[in-house]
Chain A
């Protein structure tokens, strides 16, 4: 029987030859990811259900990456880090990346890739909705809650309903003004925020396979904004090169069968597309940047698992070089690695860091920061009636802090161009 790549990966994890869309199956979990917001309550449930002295099913398969509320004076947030540290110690979790140590990484989804945890063909569950990001590596990644995560901690297994898949094919070479963010916002406008609920979103086509891994991660990252269970891109030589440079673990490559069944298929030619934003207050409220050009903004924010990777900052620097920003512009590298790269990566003779500093941006320490608002002292948090152009993933009311603020989700190119003018601006004006 023909299967999609998602079915094949789930078949492997269920020790089956074939799993059908719609059936519920028990999966063996390769990696469980958690962080400072959902880790402590997950560990509580684990102890309550499996006993105070219980041990996790496999300490090598639990990855704990604190990233949400790191650089804050909030005492409850500090307590959550203490609880992670304590659990990691008593359970002997070698993949714990402590805050305040040189092991600290930053935003979990980007760090998973950097640290070689993303392996084609594997199954990852994480207590974060953007766990779907890892699907860029030809693997299954999806978000779950604390109870499900606690169940995995004790058993190494979880039930999941095998999703139907929707296929999105992007033909043509990517023009320089277009980014993965524009592609996913295009899709969101077409299928809306629940268009892929309980489904897999599979990305294919020449434009997709021309993208570097970090851009592919932007696509799969936002599958959840369409309700998708997972986003997935088959691993090719670019993916394999990335993985082999970071891991020596074995992995398995899967591809969808040509006659696999899909819920639906969408076809785009990237030459027909243009830079877009998602207007307040929903990621599917798409408009071309040209159609809202001139809308005044009060802040520009470049960061998060979606838009705080090195490639995002390279794009932003291309636009910002030699210009001054007109509004507060926060540069928030996703990880420590990205932050270091800003100091070495050069564009047109200058490091990215120099370019951002010369432009008047402020560079923050790596964490999730204001993508989800966070405690009151979080860098870049929206206040009052702020109008923010942001490379993040979600713009429902209050997402970045103030529920009276409006957030325009955009590509790093658009966020940078808009920072210079203080108004929503099509990046083609600066390219």
Chain B
């Protein structure tokens, strides 16, 4: 597990539901065929209304036209990120697009579980309204051991809530790796 996660911020508002993260019409692609998997990157966050994508200005594409990778690797969002459907395609799409971590005020339960158990992106919570002070494109550095996020652009550091109970699953890389580590299921 990486102990430092550094990358550019993509800032969003509240209640970003899974239909905005990956619109339902795209859920038909395979999650295992490499040629189709990249489509999840291409359409990641494509359901966000343009003016609400890439705050504070908005109208910033998460993934450039013709690309399947985002130049933004850390999502900053308000409360209730990932609400709505149970589709694991949502954290999967963010991972395919290159997202390493999400920092939101809170998460919907299923999305949070999917992030952790599937080992897609680390879902950090913070008590601060970071989406009001961090701007899309800011260079950020998360220190996994210190539970901090530093805005290298504005030179301000914020606290992240410790991952608590789920840290071990995140560290193992997902529920299967964790279950094997804890001898809850046989080694492969």
- CB within 8 A of B25: which of A145, A198, A374, A397? A374
Q: Would you call A365 an interface residue if the criterion is a C-beta within 8 Å of the partner chain's C-beta atoms?
A: no
**A149 nearest CB across to chain B (Å):** 9
Quick check: which of A72-80, A293-301, A342-350, A420-428 contacts chain B, the rest being far away? A72-80
Are A37 and B79 neighbours in the complex by a CB distance under 8 Å?
A: no
Interface string of A357-381 (1 = CB under 8 A from B): 0000000000000001111100000
- CB within 8 A of A144: which of B108, B110, B184? B110
Are A44 and B31 neighbours in the complex by a CB distance under 8 Å?
A: yes
Are B85 and A282 neighbours in the complex by a CB distance under 8 Å?
A: no
Q: Which residue of B lies closest to A51 (CB)?
A: B188
Are A147 and B117 neighbours in the complex by a CB distance under 8 Å?
A: yes
Q: Would you call A167 an interface residue if the criterion is a C-beta within 8 Å of the partner chain's C-beta atoms?
A: no
**A224 nearest CB across to chain B (Å):** 8
Q: Would you call B175 an interface residue if the criterion is a C-beta within 8 Å of the partner chain's C-beta atoms?
A: yes
**B33 nearest CB across to chain A (Å):** 10
What A residues does B29 contact at CB under 8 A?
76
Are B84 and A394 neighbours in the complex by a CB distance under 8 Å?
A: yes
Question: Which of A80, A147, A394, A398 counts the most chain B CB atoms within 10 A?
Answer: A147
Interface string of A107-130 (1 = CB under 8 A from B): 000000000000000000011110
Taking beta carbons and an 8 Å cutoff, which residues of B are in contact with A? Answer: 15, 17, 19-20, 23-25, 27-32, 47-49, 52, 79-80, 83-89, 91, 106-110, 113-114, 117-118, 165, 174-176, 179, 184-185, 188
Interface string of A61-78 (1 = CB under 8 A from B): 000000011000010110
A57 to B25, CA, bound (A): 32
What A residues does B184 contact at CB under 8 A?
155
Q: Which residue of B lies closest to A194 (CB)?
A: B80
Question: Which of B52, B80, B83 counts the most chain A CB atoms within 10 A?
Answer: B83
Q: Which residue of B lies closest to A376 (CB)?
A: B25
What B residues does A372 contact at CB under 8 A?
19, 24, 85
- CB within 8 A of B85: which of A41, A77, A129, A376? A129
Q: Would you call A309 an interface residue if the criterion is a C-beta within 8 Å of the partner chain's C-beta atoms?
A: no
Q: Would you call A146 an interface residue if the criterion is a C-beta within 8 Å of the partner chain's C-beta atoms?
A: yes
Q: Would you call A193 an interface residue if the criterion is a C-beta within 8 Å of the partner chain's C-beta atoms?
A: yes
Q: Would you call A231 an interface residue if the criterion is a C-beta within 8 Å of the partner chain's C-beta atoms?
A: no
A14 to B182, CA, bound (A): 19
Are A151 and B28 neighbours in the complex by a CB distance under 8 Å?
A: no
Could you jot down 5 A-B contacts, CB within 8 Å? A40-B31, A147-B114, A197-B108, A396-B20, A396-B84
**A319 nearest CB across to chain B (Å):** 29
3 smallest CB-CB distances across A and B, nearest first, come from A145-B88, A76-B28, A145-B114
> Given A128-B86, A129-B85, A155-B185, are A194 and B23 neighbors across the interface (CB < 8 Å)?
no
Q: How many residues of A contact B (CB 8 A)?
A: 48
Q: Which residue of A lies closest to B31 (CB)?
A: A41
Are A396 and B176 neighbours in the complex by a CB distance under 8 Å?
A: no
Are A148 and B117 neighbours in the complex by a CB distance under 8 Å?
A: yes
What A residues does B113 contact at CB under 8 A?
144-145, 148
What A residues does B114 contact at CB under 8 A?
145-148
A229 to B86, CA, bound (A): 12
Extra A-B contacts (19), CB below 8 Å, given A40-B30, A398-B19: A79-B30, A127-B86, A127-B88, A144-B110, A144-B113, A147-B88, A147-B117, A147-B174, A148-B117, A148-B175, A155-B185, A193-B80, A197-B107, A197-B108, A227-B109, A229-B109, A396-B17, A398-B49, A404-B49
Q: Which residue of A lies closest to B120 (CB)?
A: A147
Q: Would you call A154 an interface residue if the criterion is a C-beta within 8 Å of the partner chain's C-beta atoms?
A: yes
Q: Would you call A38 an interface residue if the criterion is a C-beta within 8 Å of the partner chain's C-beta atoms?
A: yes
Q: Which residue of B lies closest to A48 (CB)?
A: B32
What B residues does A49 contact at CB under 8 A?
176, 188
Are B89 and A227 neighbours in the complex by a CB distance under 8 Å?
A: no
Q: Which residue of B lies closest to A198 (CB)?
A: B109
Are B80 and A197 neighbours in the complex by a CB distance under 8 Å?
A: yes
Are B28 and A394 neighbours in the complex by a CB distance under 8 Å?
A: no
> Given A151-B176, A194-B108, are A398 and B23 neighbors across the interface (CB < 8 Å)?
yes
Q: Which residue of B lies closest to A146 (CB)?
A: B88
Q: Which residue of B lies closest to A22 (CB)?
A: B165
Are B19 and A373 neighbours in the complex by a CB distance under 8 Å?
A: yes
A148 to B116, CA, bound (A): 10
What A residues does B86 contact at CB under 8 A?
38, 126-129, 131, 143-145
Q: Which residue of A lies closest to B180 (CB)?
A: A49
What A residues does B17 contact at CB under 8 A?
394, 396, 399
Q: Would you call A24 an interface residue if the criterion is a C-beta within 8 Å of the partner chain's C-beta atoms?
A: yes
**B12 nearest CB across to chain A (Å):** 12
Task: Find residues 332-349 in chain A having any chain B CB closer than 8 Å to their own CB.
Answer: none
Interface string of A244-268 (1 = CB under 8 A from B): 0000000000000000000000000
**B73 nearest CB across to chain A (Å):** 22
Are B85 and A375 neighbours in the complex by a CB distance under 8 Å?
A: no
What A residues does B179 contact at CB under 8 A?
151
What A residues does B109 contact at CB under 8 A?
197-198, 227, 229
A197 to B105, CA, bound (A): 13
What B residues does A396 contact at CB under 8 A?
15, 17, 19-20, 83-84
Q: Which residue of B lies closest to A398 (CB)?
A: B47
> Given A193-B80, A194-B79, A372-B24, are A143 and B88 neighbors across the interface (CB < 8 Å)?
no
Q: Would you call A403 an interface residue if the criterion is a C-beta within 8 Å of the partner chain's C-beta atoms?
A: yes
**A21 nearest CB across to chain B (Å):** 14
What B residues does A194 contact at CB under 8 A?
15, 79-80, 83, 106, 108
What B residues does A151 contact at CB under 8 A?
117, 175-176, 179
